[in-house]
Structure 1
Amino acid sequence: MTRTRTALVTGANRGIGAATARALHRAGWHVVLAARDGRAAREAAEALGPGARGIALDVTSAHSVAAAREHTGPVDALAANAGVLLDAGTDPLTVPLDTVRATLEVNLLGAWRVCQCYVPDMARAGWGRVALLSSGTGTFGGGLRSGPAPGYSVSKTAVNALTVLLAERLRGSGVLVNAVNPGPTRTRMMPGADRTPEEAAADLVHALGLPADGPTGVLLRHGRPAPW
């Protein structure tokens, strides 16, 4: 009998994270919904039903991430979705660097911190999938030339670099690591976007379900490798 795999989704109490958790649950995964607000995570998990559970996880806190790992045990897949957009409409010459630092703490170091805590288990098990949420605004081919949120854009460029580093470190281990660019998505962060959270979630679910010979260390856009 095939074991049901477990996925951890960060920032899972709303938006793309919540939609990803729903889609994974419908596909038969066990899902751990993680959010800084543990109560919101638990309520979202209860709405999904059996096979879902919610936990408090603040990606900016090493203690919180370690405590979450103690609570959940190993997982098979990670959707590192938690993120912030704090500097929309700013100029790289004037944006407060404290704002940039706070952005990097969540978007880059938060994802990195969770990977360091959970991915070694995957490598030891010989199977794992990691999807790091990226953005077109962090690509050299387009977004960085005109990005209206410089700290956010730089954080996603750094996520892309982290993707490559992790994928190379884990090559041959059975763990695939990819960045996912879902495009502008209608969430609290981007309320005017056209794409729905469900459409974006499909891209993350695809990355978590890649076959053994699937890509690793690439940026996926609608399921296909895209330029960095």
Structure 2
Amino acid sequence: MTKIALVTGANKGIGKEIARQLGEGGFTVLVGSRDLARGEAAVKELVAEGLDAVAVQLEVTDAKSVDAATSLVARSYGQLDVLVNNAAVIPVGDDAAAGIADDVLREAFEVNVIGLVRVTQAFLPLLRKAERARIVNLSTSLASFELVGDPESRMSTVRTLGYNASKAAVNMVTVMLANELRGTGILVNGADPGNCATDMGGWSAPRTPSQGAAVAVQLATVGADGPTGHVYAEEGRLPW
């Protein structure tokens, strides 16, 4: 039976590369995109490569959109084997703690944390129907207290409180959900793709989206003896 994977924010960048690599691994990939036309354009590209991909309109901040996407997946497939929560923003105006505006901080948490939890809650019944489901939440080294707290680390110089703090909250969601789901066969982990050349990371970033996607795909396909409740980068488990 073909396994089904949903990737949010998958019409471009790391999300599309995660979808591509899962598709290459034999999954039917549901390309979540808040703009359906952009999702369909990404799917056209993936299908041309011989992959099984379907566009799904999914805006993580819109409960009606999430409910509609959940209903579509339930009707079409009956279960979900992999959920990759990739959709995220660095809001315009993201700034240091001393200067960030309320609305900027609120936007970061609305998309990166509340939206992620909303999507996960909605799809959890379908994930429970799979034999060995996996949830992967995209994180970042900028959410590591140890790295950001080290004045010798480059991470300590990045002044984006909204993004950093919301992703630190995602790490806590990951840990708590993993604890809640222990013994169910569902493994939950975070993936740090590193600084990749994308709209978010900047096109001068040193890593490719393909490189960034690899750790998320690895966690999405890990065996029954794999980890749960941790965050991993290419070099291994991240310090928190």
Specify the TM-score bucket, using the shorter chain as the normaliser: over 0.9
1:9 matched residue in structure 2: 7
- Corresponding position: 1:221 with 2:233: yes
Kept in 2: contact 1:206–1:223 (CA 8 A): no
Aligned-partner residue type, residue 66 of structure 2: V
Aligned-partner residue type, residue 224 of structure 1: G
Match of 1:77 among 73, 82, 95: 82
1:45 matched residue in structure 2: 43
Structure 1 residues 204 and 88: alpha-carbon distance in aligned structure 2, compared to 1, 3 A threshold: farther
- The total of aligned residue pairs comes to 226
Secondary structure in structure 1 of the residue aligned to 2:124: helix
Q: Distance in 2 between matches of 1:43 and 1:87?
A: 26
Aligned-partner residue type, residue 34 of structure 2: R
Secondary structure in structure 2 of the residue aligned to 1:108: helix
- Corresponding position: 1:185 with 2:196: yes
Secondary structure in structure 2 of the residue aligned to 1:121: helix
Q: Distance in 1 between matches of 2:60 and 2:45?
A: 23
Match of 1:95 among 93, 96, 100: 100
Q: Which piece of structure 1 moves more, 127-136 or 143-152?
A: 143-152
Among all aligned residue pairs of Structure 1 and Structure 2, give the percentage whose two residues are the same amino acid.
38
Q: What CA RMSD, in Å, does the superposition of the two structures yield over aligned residues?
A: 1.5
2:68 matched residue in structure 1: 67
Deviation for aligned residue 1:190: 1.6
Structure 1 residue ranges without an equivalent (≥5): none
Structure 1 residues 223 and 38: alpha-carbon distance in aligned structure 2, compared to 1, 3 A threshold: farther
- Given the two structures, how large is their TM-score scaled by the length of structure 2? 0.90
Aligned-partner residue type, residue 207 of structure 1: L
2:112 matched residue in structure 1: 107
1:207 matched residue in structure 2: 219
Kept in 2: contact 1:203–1:223 (CA 8 A): no
Give every structure 1 segment of 4 or more consecutive aligned residues whose post-TM-superposition deviation is greater than 3 Å: 144-147
Q: Distance in 2 between matches of 1:123 and 1:34?
A: 20
Kept in 2: contact 1:87–1:95 (CA 8 A): no
Q: Distance in 2 between matches of 1:55 and 1:124?
A: 20
Q: Distance in 2 between matches of 1:125 and 1:223?
A: 30
Secondary structure in structure 2 of the residue aligned to 1:148: coil
Kept in 1: contact 2:18–2:217 (CA 8 A): yes
Kept in 2: contact 1:136–1:183 (CA 8 A): yes
Aligned-partner residue type, residue 127 of structure 2: M
Give per-residue Cα distances to partners, 1:169-228, cap 9 Å, x unaligned. Answer: 000100000011111111001222101000011111101001001000001111732212
Match of 1:149 among 125, 150, 160: 160
Aligned-partner residue type, residue 212 of structure 1: A
Aligned-partner residue type, residue 24 of structure 1: L
Aligned-partner residue type, residue 71 of structure 1: L
- Corresponding position: 1:197 with 2:209: yes
Deviation for aligned residue 1:46: 1.9
Aligned ranges 1:110-125 → 2 under 5 Å: 110-125=115-130
Secondary structure in structure 2 of the residue aligned to 1:105: helix
Q: Distance in 2 between matches of 1:149 and 1:103?
A: 10
Match of 1:25 among 13, 23, 26: 23
